[in-house]
C-alpha cells in the first residue's frame, strides 16, 4: 500500500493561492477532491495525507479551507487522511482552538508552512498548538527548507520541546537536507518526508537513521503524476531493498496515524 | 541522444560521506542509460580544495574516453592568480571546455568581485561557466544572474535550475539571455514552469551523478509535459551541443 505523506487539496473555492503564478506557470489549475483522487489513481498512490494549499495564505479563510479537507476525507475515507492548519502568529490560543476543532472533526494531523504562514518554525506562538498535538500524539508536518523561516533545526527545537508528538520534516529539508537528517539523528520523534530529497540524501539518511522514519511524499498536485513517478524513482534508486521500500512507501506513514 | 551537462568523477572523495568511483563503471553506467556525452567535473574535496588533483583525474578520464567525456575544470576563486594559471593549463593542455564554480564548497558569493578575474579568464578561453545554483545565500539565482549579466558575451549555466529558489529563476533567465538552467535535482513543476515560459531552449539536461540517479533524472525529462520530441531533444542534447559548439558531432 502506497501512502503519500504530502498532498495538497489545491482548490480556489476557499481563496486564491499564488503557487502556480509565482512559479511562472501558465495557469492556476485546481484539483477538487475527485480530481485529486483521479490524480492519486494515475500516480499509483493508494492513500495520502491531505491538507489545504489556499488555507496556508493568511488572506484566505483557514477554517473554511480546513473544512474543505475534512469534507473531502468524508467523501473518500480510504484515500485521504485529513490534516488541518492554523495561523499561530495571529493568536496562539485561537490557532490551538482551530486545531482542536479540526481534530475533533476527524483530522489526523497538522500541517504548518512557516514560510507561507510567516513565522519562524521555532516560534513560541506554536506552543499551545504543539502542546495539544503532543497530548494527543498527533503528527505535525512542517514545510522545511527555504530559510530563514523553515529551517530543520528550528523544527528540531520544537520536537525536543514536545517529545510526544511526531514531527515530520516536509521536503527533507530541501537545500538543508544535511540539517534535516542530523535532526532526525538527534531526535527520535523527527521524521523525514521525501519530496525534495535527492538520491544521495536518501542514501545518507538511511545510513544515519535507518529507514523507519522516512516517509514517501510528493507535494502533489504540484508537478502532477509525472512528479509522483519521479519521486518514486528516486526512492527506488536510493533504497533497492524491498523491505525498505515497503517501509518508506507506506508502513511508516500508517504507523503515525491512529 | 543524451548529453549530460552535469556529471562528476573523482576516484574517492567526501561529500557528507565517503564515495568511491571507478571510471570503467561510470562509462558502463552512462552507456546503460543511453548517455553519449557527459560533462565531467571533480567532486567533494576535489571541487572544493584540491582542485588541481581533481582536474588531473578528470583530464585522465577525458584522455581515456575522449568520445564520452568533456572536461570542466574546478577552480577555487580564492586561489586567485594561481587558479587562473591552473584554468589556462586545464584548457591548453587538456582541452577543458568549461569552468565549474561551486560557491558552497569553495566559500564565496557567486557575484563577489573576487571571482571576476577567473570568470574573465574562462570567457577569454571561450569556456562555459557553470555555477552550482540555489543555495542560500552564496549561490542564489539572482547572484548568478548578476554575474552572468556582467558578461553578456559569455555563456553561463545555473546548476540545478536554482533549486530551492525556483521563484527567482524565471526572472533570472529572462534578464540574462546568456544563462541556461541545468535540470538535475529540481522538480517537475519548476522545470515545467521554465519550459512553458521560455520553451525548451534554456534547459540543459544534467544528472548530478553520483548524487542523483540516471534512471530518475532521465525519466523526469521524459515526463516533462508540454514538449514535443524536438523540444525534448533540445533539453537532452541539442542545447548543450550548441552551447559547446559540437555541431559536427553525430
C-alpha cell at B35: 548517455
Question: Which of A24, A39, A150 best probes binding to B when mutated, by most B CB atoms within 10 angstroms?
Answer: A24
**pLDDT tens-place string over residues A118-158:** 999 999 999 999 999 999 999 999 999 988 899 999 999 99
pLDDT band, residue A172 (cuts 50/70/90): very high
Distance of CA B10 to the CA centre of its chain: 15
pLDDT of residue A14: 80
How big is the A-B interface in CB pairs under 8 Å? 89
Q: What is the percentage of chain A residues whose pLDDT exceeds 90?
A: 86
Residues of chain B short of pLDDT 70, as ranges, are 247-250
pLDDT of residue A18: 57
d(CA A144, CA A154) in angstroms, rounded, equals 9
Interchain contact, B188 vs A198, CB within 8 Å: no
Q: Is B43 on the interface with A (CB under 8 A)?
A: no
Q: What are the φ/ψ torsions at residue A30 (nearest 5 degrees)?
A: -125, 155
CB B76 within 8 A of CB B83: yes
Residue A187 Rama label (left phi>0; alpha psi -120 to 50; beta) = beta
ipTM for this model: 0.83
What residues of chain B lie within 8 A of the CB of A227, using their CB?
Answer: 187-189, 223
What residues of chain A lie within 8 A of the CB of B219, using their CB?
Answer: 229-230, 233
d(CA A233, CA A229) in angstroms, rounded, equals 6
The answer for residues whose C-beta is within 8 angstroms of residue A225's C-beta and 6 or more apart is A39, A42, A43
Report the residue from B15, B169, B215 with minimal CB separation from A233.
B215
**CA dist B90 to A32, A256, B123, B242, Å?**
56, 54, 14, 22
Q: pTM of the entire structure?
A: 0.90
- Helix H segments across chain A? 19-22, 33-43, 62-75, 92-104, 114-117, 127-136, 152-161, 177-186, 199-209, 224-238, 242-246, 252-256
Report the residue from B16, B164, B188 with minimal CB separation from A230.
B188
CB A171 within 8 A of CB A219: yes
For the packed helices B214-223 and B188-198, what is the interaxial angle rounded to 10 degrees?
Answer: 50
Q: Quick one: which H or E segment has residue B13? A: strand B12-14
The answer for residues whose C-beta is within 8 angstroms of residue B34's C-beta and 6 or more apart is B2, B218
- State yes or no: pLDDT of A22 exceeds 80: no
Distance of CA B192 to the CA centre of its chain: 20
Handedness of CA B7, B164, B181, B91 (dihedral sign): negative
Amino acid at each position: 500500500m502506497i501512502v503519500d505523506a504530502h498532498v495538497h487539496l489545491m482548490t480556489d473555492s476557499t481563496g486564491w493561492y499564488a503557487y502556480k503564478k509565482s512559479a511562472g506557470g501558465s495557469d492556476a489549475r485546481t484539483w477538487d477532491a475527485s480530481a485529486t483522487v483521479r490524480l492519486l489513481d494515475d500516480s499509483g498512490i493508494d492513500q495520502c495525507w491531505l491538507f489545504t494549499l489556499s488555507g496556508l495564505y493568511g488572506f484566505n479563510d483557514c477554517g473554511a479551507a480546513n473544512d474543505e479537507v475534512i469534507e473531502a476525507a468524508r467523501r473518500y475515507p480510504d484515500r485521504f487522511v485529513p490534516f488541518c492548519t492554523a495561523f499561530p502568529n495571529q493568536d496562539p490560543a485561537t490557532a490551538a482552538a482551530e486545531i482542536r476543532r479540526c481534530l475533533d472533526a476527524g483530522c489526523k494531523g497538522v500541517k504548518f508552512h512557516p514560510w507561507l504562514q510567516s513565522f519562524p518554525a521555532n516560534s513560541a506562538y506554536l506552543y499551545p498548538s504543539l502542546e495539544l498535538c503532543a497530548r494527543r500524539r498527533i503528527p505535525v508536518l512542517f514545510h522545511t527548507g527555504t530559510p530563514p523561516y523553515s529551517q530543520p533545526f528550528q523544527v528540531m527545537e520544537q520536537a525536543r520541546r514536545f517529545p510526544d508528538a511526531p514531527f515530520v520534516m516536509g521536503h527533507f529539508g530541501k537545500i538543508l537536507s544535511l540539517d534535516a537528517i542530523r535532526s532526525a539523528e538527534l531526535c527520535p520523534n523527527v521524521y523525514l518526508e521525501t519530496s525534495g530529497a535527492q538520491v544521495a540524501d536518501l542514501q545518507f539518511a538511511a545510513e544515519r537513521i535507518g529507514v523507519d522514519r522516512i516517509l514517501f511524499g510528493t507535494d502533489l498536485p504540484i508537478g502532477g503524476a509525472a512528479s509522483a513517478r519521479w519521486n518514486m524513482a528516486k526512492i527506488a534508486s536510493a533504497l533497492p531493498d524491498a523491505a525498505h521500500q515497503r517501509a518508506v512507501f507506506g508502513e511508516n506513514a500508517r504507523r503515525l496515524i491512529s | 541522444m543524451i548529453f549530460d551537462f552535469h556529471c562528476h568523477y573523482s576516484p574517492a572523495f567526501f561529500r557528507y560521506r565517503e564515495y568511491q568511483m571507478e571510471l570503467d563503471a561510470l562509462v558502463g553506467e552512462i552507456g546503460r542509460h543511453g548517455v553519449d556525452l557527459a560533462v565531467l567535473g571533480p567532486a567533494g574535496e576535489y571541487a572544493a580544495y584540491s582542485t588541481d588533483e581533481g582536474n588531473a583525474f578528470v583530464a585522465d578520464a577525458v584522455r581515456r574516453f575522449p568520445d564520452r567525456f568533456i572536461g570542466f575544470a574546478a577552480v577555487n576563486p580564492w586561489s586567485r592568480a594561481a587558479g587562473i594559471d591552473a584554468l589556462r593549463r586545464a584548457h591548453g593542455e587538456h582541452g577543458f571546455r568549461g569552468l565549474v564554480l561551486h560557491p558552497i564548497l569553495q566559500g564565496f558569493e557567486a557575484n563577489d568581485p573576487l571571482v571576476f578575474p577567473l570568470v574573465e579568464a574562462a570567457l577569454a578561453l571561450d569556456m562555459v561557466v557553470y555555477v552550482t545554483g540555489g543555495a542560500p545565500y552564496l549561490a542564489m539565482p539572482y547572484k548568478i544572474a548578476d554575474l552572468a549579466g556582467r558578461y553578456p558575451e559569455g555563456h553561463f549555466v545555473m546548476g540545478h535550475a536554482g533549486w530551492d529558489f525556483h521563484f527567482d529563476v524565471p526572472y533570472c533567465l529572462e534578464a540574462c539571455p546568456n544563462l541556461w538552467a541545468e535540470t538535475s535535482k529540481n522538480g517537475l513543476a519548476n522545470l515545467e514552469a521554465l519550459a512553458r515560459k521560455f520553451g525548451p531552449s534554456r534547459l540543459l539536461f544534467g544528472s548530478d551523478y553520483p548524487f542523483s540517479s540516471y534512471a530518475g533524472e532521465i525519466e523526469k525529462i521524459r515526463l516533462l509535459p508540454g514538449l514535443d520530441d524536438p523540444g525534448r531533444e533540445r533539453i537532452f542534447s541539442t542545447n548543450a551541443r550548441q552551447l559547446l559548439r559540437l555541431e559536427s558531432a553525430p
